[in-house]
Amino acid sequence: TDLAHIRNFSIVAHIDHGKSTLADRLIQTTDTVAARDMKEQLLDAMDIERERGITIKANTVRIDYTAENGEQYVLNLIDTPGHVDFAYEVSRSMRAVEGSLLVVDSTQGVEAQTLANVYQAIDADHDIVPVLNKIDLPASDCERVAEQIEDVIGIDASGAIRVSAKTGEGIRETLEAIVKHLPAPKGTRDAPLKAMLVDSWYDAYLGVIVLVRIMDGVLKKGERIKMMQTGSVHHVDRIGVFRPAMQAVDELGPGEIGFLTASIKQVRDTKVGDTITHEKKGAETPLPGFKPSVPVVFCGLFPVDSAEFEDLRDAIEKLALNDASFSYEMETSAALGFGFRCGFLGLLHLEVIRDRIEREYDIDLITTAPSVIYHIYGRDGEMVELHNPADMPDPSKIDHIEEPRIKATILVPDEFLGDVLKLCQDRRGIQLDLTYAGARAMVVYDLPLNEVVFDFYDRLKSVTKGYASFDYQLTGYREDNLVKMQVLVNDEPVDALSTMVHRDRAEMRGRAMCEKLKDLIPRHMFKIPIQAAIGGKVIARETLSALRKDVTAKCYGGDATRKRKLLDKQKAGKKKMRQFGKVDIPQEAFISALKMD
């Protein structure tokens, strides 16, 4: 295809504003997929995504479109994830295309992720076509939302297309706007090959599949290619495009988006952002790279049943094959035995991986408190990264500790503003900005990441009844008065419950944790002290009193079935417990104890 007849674009939107539905509709209207093959939300491949309605892996589809001027166009859509954890995936996909559809739900208006994603599109120099979706709903208010797009984002929305991805209204207009308002890609056919490695994933049959955008030159099957960053050389055994099913093609030329396979075994061997060229007569200089994805949240994953450790290893290795941003290493905990310390892009990423292990591999897990990476500066001037509070060096050797900070943007209806400000203040936030967009306030806070990784989303959702939207980016490291807080159950330290906290908040946190644990740990035949301590100093204490009677004694009247049920329940409960010294601690205690209400 000649460049003038190609359009490459992505769709940016806040979660639930209808990105996937719109993509499906574009595909359907252009008969890219036979009607009988059309499934809802075609682009969301994985089950878990479908269930949660979250698009995780960036996906791609090539659409043939005959425009009103009678000419044939190739439209390449790269689907991008909408959630904050995957912001880096959004950014790299954006660099592979020239334009974006900005989809805003016309019953809701601009949200935090609309802003975050549209700024990435602007950064990538995109031309942007605003689309107001869900016009079939009575609450739709296009005038107001168009005005809001102009006020808050600062782009012209007078020509915004009014669409119902549900009924199909406005879809033709959207396709026409893509052709008319988005630019054709640039590139030179005769130049040495330069292809951008946009994404890669593991396929059980084909090995690693590499998504590429050709900038210059031509890529053909059978050629030998070189990854410019890693220097590795491969023989291309397949090239093709997604419609959205894979379809082989003879070549990919400038401006085109497609895939290659080259008997690559691991996703780790393909660096996203790398430039692919020919082994011989290749390009001299690579494309400007983008920032690699780095895990920012760490936690321990341990099998509830220690006999399942090898199964867990197997599951983790398989998942890591397909997810280069998920890292892991073996960890031993005095309390929990053998497990893995894993690194994630954010909390949602953590949740997705944990769910998949539990569901697809059927392994019950204990998840330890999520932690961020601290920079520990020793008295000798050396800095070490701390990924696990359990590895904290001797405090007498520490000069100071720095923690990661974020810039958080929250959009919230006015009536909940007070609660949001209080929440941010409680989490050691520093307010940077407060503005209004219609009846909604936009607050920007500088917050410590460690105060956000745990239950911030949950709290934000609950204080705003689900009406707030949230997005963040890492800004850097700053020194603060941080200490490691240990928890002792029956005088034994439980390493999996150790956390890093701010010194000023340690007492409050310690007290809350001890109170929670007192409720979560079942009573035993003896008295159990539960303590929080910093260094050797106890800062909070609760005592779980001893159990006096047999549990079944409650069942007066000798109802045998009820008694049996109760015992069965106890037995099932036992399985989900871990023994620490003489004390059984239930699995959920490790997460619940850390939640702050």
Q: Which residues contact 480 (CB under 8 A, 6 or more apart)?
A: 401, 402, 403, 448, 502
Look at residues 472, 459, 467 and name the one whose alpha carbon lies nearest to residue 414. Answer: 467
Of 7 and 19, nearer to ligand GTP (C-beta) is 19
Q: Is 17 annotated as a binding residue?
A: yes
Pairing of strands 383-386, 365-367: unpaired
Q: How far is the CB of 30 from ligand GTP (least distance, A)?
A: 18
Phi, psi of 79 (to 5 degrees): -85, 135
Quick check: 299 binds ligand GTP (CB under 6 A)? no
Burial code of 215-236, b = ≥16 C-beta within 10 A, e = fewer?
bbbbbebebebbbbeeeeebeb
Q: How far is the CB of 117 from ligand GTP (least distance, A)?
A: 10
Q: How far is the CB of 83 from ligand GTP (least distance, A)?
A: 7
DSSP single-letter state for residue 439? T
- Cα distances from 456 to residues 324, 332, 430, 468, 597, in angstroms, run 26, 28, 15, 12, 11
Q: Is 135 annotated as a binding residue?
A: yes
Q: Is 134 annotated as a binding residue?
A: yes
Positions 106 through 135 that interact with ligand GTP (CB under 6 A): 133-134
For the chain, what is the total number of helices (H) and then of strands (E)?
13, 33
Q: How far is the CB of 21 from ligand GTP (least distance, A)?
A: 3
Q: Which residues contact 154 (CB under 8 A, 6 or more apart)?
A: none
Q: Give the containing element (helix H, strand E) for 257.
A: strand 257-261
Quick check: 77 binds ligand GTP (CB under 6 A)? no
Tell me which stretch binds ligand GTP (CB under 6 A): 10-18, 115-123, 232-240, 415-423.
10-18
**Other Cβ atoms within 10 Å of 39 Cβ, number:** 10
Q: Is 76 annotated as a binding residue?
A: no
Burial code of 126-157, b = ≥16 C-beta within 10 A, e = fewer?
bebbbbbbbbeeeebbbeebbbbbeebbebeb
The residue from 8, 21, 32, 293 that contacts ligand GTP (CB under 6 A) is 21
Look at residues 489, 358, 470, 371 and name the one whose alpha carbon lies nearest to residue 412. Answer: 470
Tell me which stretch binds ligand GTP (CB under 6 A): 11-19, 30-38, 115-123, 347-355.
11-19
Of 15 and 532, nearer to ligand GTP (C-beta) is 15
Quick check: 349 binds ligand GTP (CB under 6 A)? no
Q: Is 178 annotated as a binding residue?
A: no
Asked if residue 278 lies in contact with residue 226, where contact means CB atoms within 8 angstroms, the answer is yes
Q: How far is the CB of 469 from ligand GTP (least distance, A)?
A: 12
Of 82 and 343, nearer to ligand GTP (C-beta) is 82
Q: Is 20 annotated as a binding residue?
A: yes
Of 81 and 303, nearer to ligand GTP (C-beta) is 81
Asked if residue 104 lies in contact with residue 133, where contact means CB atoms within 8 angstroms, the answer is yes
Of 56 and 593, nearer to ligand GTP (C-beta) is 56
Q: In what order do the strands lie in the sheet with 194-203?
A: 233-235, 224-227, 275-278, 194-203, 207-216, 257-261, 238-242, 246-248
Tell me which stretch binds ligand GTP (CB under 6 A): 48-56, 253-261, 463-471, 486-494.
48-56
The dihedral sign for the CA sequence 397, 393, 485, 525: negative
Q: From CA 112, how far away is CA 305, in angstroms rounded? A: 41
Tell me which stretch binds ligand GTP (CB under 6 A): 18-26, 114-122, 357-365, 564-572.
18-26
Of 199 and 274, nearer to ligand GTP (C-beta) is 199
Quick check: 59 binds ligand GTP (CB under 6 A)? no
DSSP 123-186: HTT-EEEEEEE-TTSTT--HHHHHHHIIIII----TTPEE--TTT-TTHHHHHHHHHHHSPPP-
Of 12 and 585, nearer to ligand GTP (C-beta) is 12
Q: How far is the CB of 295 from ligand GTP (least distance, A)?
A: 22
The residue from 62, 82, 227, 253 that contacts ligand GTP (CB under 6 A) is 82
Q: Residue type at 281?
A: K
Q: Which residues contact 198 (CB under 8 A, 6 or more apart)?
A: 58, 78, 92, 93, 95, 96, 211, 212, 213, 257, 272
Q: How many residues bind ligand GTP (CB under 6 A)?
A: 19
The residue from 6, 12, 15, 56 that contacts ligand GTP (CB under 6 A) is 15
Q: Is 21 annotated as a binding residue?
A: yes
Half-sphere exposure of 203 (CA within 13 A, CB side): 15
Residue with tokens 């960053």: 229
Quick check: 17 binds ligand GTP (CB under 6 A)? yes
The residue from 37, 53, 127, 224 that contacts ligand GTP (CB under 6 A) is 53
Of 53 and 573, nearer to ligand GTP (C-beta) is 53
DSSP 72-134: EEEEEEE----SGGGHHHHHHHHTT-SEEEEEEETTT---HHHHHHHHHHHHTT-EEEEEEE-
The residue from 6, 7, 9, 19 that contacts ligand GTP (CB under 6 A) is 19
The token pair at 33 is: 């997929």
The residue from 58, 63, 110, 165 that contacts ligand GTP (CB under 6 A) is 165
476: which strand partners? 405
Residue with tokens 């989900």: 576
Q: How far is the CB of 55 from ligand GTP (least distance, A)?
A: 4
Quick check: 18 binds ligand GTP (CB under 6 A)? yes
Tell me which stretch binds ligand GTP (CB under 6 A): 16-24, 324-332, 374-382, 578-586.
16-24
The residue from 6, 10, 12, 20 that contacts ligand GTP (CB under 6 A) is 20
Quick check: 16 binds ligand GTP (CB under 6 A)? yes
The token pair at 549 is: 């009677």
* First-to-final CA distance of the chain: 58
Q: How far is the CB of 46 from ligand GTP (least distance, A)?
A: 12
Quick check: 136 binds ligand GTP (CB under 6 A)? yes
Of 82 and 300, nearer to ligand GTP (C-beta) is 82
Quick check: 505 binds ligand GTP (CB under 6 A)? no
Q: From CA 9, how far away is CA 75, in angstroms rounded? A: 8
Q: From CA 413, how far away is CA 217, in angstroms rounded? A: 51
Q: Is 181 annotated as a binding residue?
A: no
Q: How far is the CB of 342 from ligand GTP (least distance, A)?
A: 24
Tell me which stretch binds ligand GTP (CB under 6 A): 53-61, 86-94, 446-454, 501-509.
53-61
Q: Is 16 annotated as a binding residue?
A: yes
Tell me which stretch binds ligand GTP (CB under 6 A): 8-16, 270-278, 370-378, 464-472.
8-16
Q: Is 327 annotated as a binding residue?
A: no
Q: Per the annotation, where are the binding residues?
A: 16-21, 133-136
Residues at the site binding ligand GTP, with contacts judged by CB under 6 A: 13, 15-21, 53-55, 82, 133-134, 136-137, 164-166
Q: Per the annotation, where are the binding residues for GTP?
A: 16-21, 133-136
